[in-house]
Structure 1
């Protein structure tokens, strides 16, 4: 009998080591970047990291498994309200340290995973417009619960979130925005590391097989319904973490922050970034953060009355997102990441031709 523990096969072990090396390099690069950015830019970087958790999970669900979801904003709201309620409860009980953030974020992931499992069980039985309609109903119903049970969720005004200061070991003058960026980036890097390894695993291949042809996948021995439910569960966990991070960054949670518009933005973000690519999820998250600044800049350049400018700024992001989506689908059907990949192949081909 073999006394040695089983080891990973060489390809899988090398993939894990490569992903760990890339994650470590990205962490060092981002750590240095946070020291060079202004406080507001650090806050934007933290917001982008929170959105990245959700866009990466939605990429796995829609891009790799083919399940269309219009309700991921509601799953983010689930994680955000979980963090708000738990942080406030711990604060009222006199427990408000750095460890409470980990507990609250873990609880957000667990609750969002449970909600995602319920949604996934129903979604596995639906196809096409029926699946889109069901997730659309989720996007509308979940935020409405906060206004219905206003005694718990404080209605439209929402809840404040008790957030502890940065650890004392960082110093009394340590910028709070930099600490927020570190916290959100840690969650985003962990999410990307886990998803990258999951995509390269047997489960990841099953996701793609189910997306491409359910009948062929079933004949190959893949449990289609279970694979689809697990895809929804993983994606919901990522959305819950992203929503919880957003709650900690904004230090408040309200139904208006997780409306149907957010779900549409998330879906358009992964399409523009590159559907089915985790790197495309990064571009999509960056676009979600840059869009409000772009809309504000456009309204400032136009000579409009304050009332018209406010109304335009509220509707302009969706219009800009829609126009960007149309342009990207015409110019680069594979999204931003697909365009970059194509340009890279052309550059390598040109370089090899010159050397030859």
Structure 2
């Protein structure tokens, strides 16, 4: 004898699966990693077009935007994703840059892909060490601990000057374009393409992590650690994982910077770099990866525009060196005054207004 509930369930019509009808629905129906990979391929196509139609100087600036974007994306996942304030992100860029330089100098036969893989592994180990040591720290205590890292690590170059080169740093000569591309792309073009290919693959991984289970755990820890722990989220391991991911992205960015510039000096990785990365992330918007893109463009091109302005006005060297900082500070104050969510917040507001006006009924 069947129960009435079972009889009603058997008589109920089976749910009809909904099929995507519009291109937007079909796009959202794709798996998240596939969507991110397709966007990366599309972005790489655009970068290739820009690199091939511009000069060497523009290609080097594109490369600088690329590795700066990767460093900021890792910091965004740490600060915006898990809520951990780090003032020592530049130290991981230094680890990656010096790791790349030492590998090129002492193991010149290793291919670039192997060097980058080793840099990623070393940066991840450093992230495990720092993340484990600071997992129980919060707020200013965490910021102070990472501040010590940013201040103290560049001093190792002076302490071990025989290996790390002291104040002069290390100079390397990385391989250029392969022989079959000689005459088609220059060395600067090739390095920019290598950087952006690596960066876009890394961003695909970061975006997949952010939209997946680990990303949801990070956001739960960021919002309320106590509530996250009561919900079964392993708070300590989640915070360590965020630190490892951020340090790996920073180390890979530093390795790419050394590959592009061909030189590594401790003066490039001072506390000012870590503070600039964090301030630029606030300017761009901590809400997502797009904020990291606006921040990277600001860091690279504000300096270029300030230098051009100083040259046009025939200003002194001291003014030219400090003008980018003043320019960046003024823009940061204005953006936060009128758009507290940064440039990406402004873009989202404009898109929402455009969508609401488009969907409004016409009289």
Which of 314, 317, 323 does residue 310 from structure 1 map onto? Answer: 317
Give the secondary structure class of the aligned counterpart of 1:83: helix
Check conservation: 1:53, 1:187, Cα contact below 8 A: no
1:324 alignment partner in structure 2: 331
Alignment of 1:173-184 (within 5 A): 174-184=185-195
Alignment of 1:114-133 (within 5 A): 114-133=125-144
1:64 alignment partner in structure 2: 81
Which of 24, 43, 46 does residue 63 from structure 2 map onto? Answer: 46
1:77 alignment partner in structure 2: 94
Give the secondary structure class of the aligned counterpart of 2:107: helix
Q: Deviations over 1:213-257 (max 9, x none)?
A: 000000000011110010000000000000000001110000011
1:16 alignment partner in structure 2: 33
Check conservation: 1:87, 1:100, Cα contact below 8 A: no
Q: Deviations over 1:144-192 (max 9, x none)?
A: 1111110100100000113112111212463111101111101110111
Check conservation: 1:80, 1:243, Cα contact below 8 A: yes
1:30 alignment partner in structure 2: 47
1:169 alignment partner in structure 2: 180
Q: Residues 108 and 355 (structure 1 numbering): CA distance in 2 closer, same or farther, change over 3 Å?
A: farther
1:279 and 1:19 map into 2 onto residues whose CA distance is 13
1:5 alignment partner in structure 2: none
Mean Cα deviation higher: 109-118 or 152-161: 109-118
Deviation at 1:301, TM superposition (A): 4.1
Check conservation: 1:158, 1:252, Cα contact below 8 A: yes
Alignment of 1:202-213 (within 5 A): 202-213=213-224
Does residue 250 (structure 1) correspond to residue 270 (structure 2)? The answer is no
Q: Deviations over 1:286-331 (max 9, x none)?
A: 1111021122123224454xxxx22223333222222222111111
Larger Rg: 2
Which of 162, 167, 176 does residue 151 from structure 1 map onto? Answer: 162
Check conservation: 1:206, 1:222, Cα contact below 8 A: yes
1:104 and 1:312 map into 2 onto residues whose CA distance is 39
The RMSD of aligned alpha carbons is: 1.7
Mean Cα deviation higher: 24-33 or 212-221: 24-33
Which of 334, 340, 344 does residue 337 from structure 1 map onto? Answer: 344
Alignment of 1:263-274 (within 5 A): 263-274=274-285
1:327 and 1:279 map into 2 onto residues whose CA distance is 20
Question: Unaligned regions of 5+ residues in structure 2, if any?
Answer: 1-26
Question: Unaligned regions of 5+ residues in structure 1, if any?
Answer: 1-9
Check conservation: 1:268, 1:321, Cα contact below 8 A: no
Q: Residues 295 and 117 (structure 1 numbering): CA distance in 2 closer, same or farther, change over 3 Å?
A: same
Deviation at 1:119, TM superposition (A): 1.0
1:27 and 1:174 map into 2 onto residues whose CA distance is 16
1:350 alignment partner in structure 2: 357
Mean Cα deviation higher: 29-38 or 224-233: 29-38
Mean Cα deviation higher: 108-117 or 167-176: 167-176
Q: What's the TM-score once normalised by structure 1's chain length?
A: 0.91
Check conservation: 2:176, 2:191, Cα contact below 8 A: no
1:11 and 1:27 map into 2 onto residues whose CA distance is 21
1:189 alignment partner in structure 2: 200
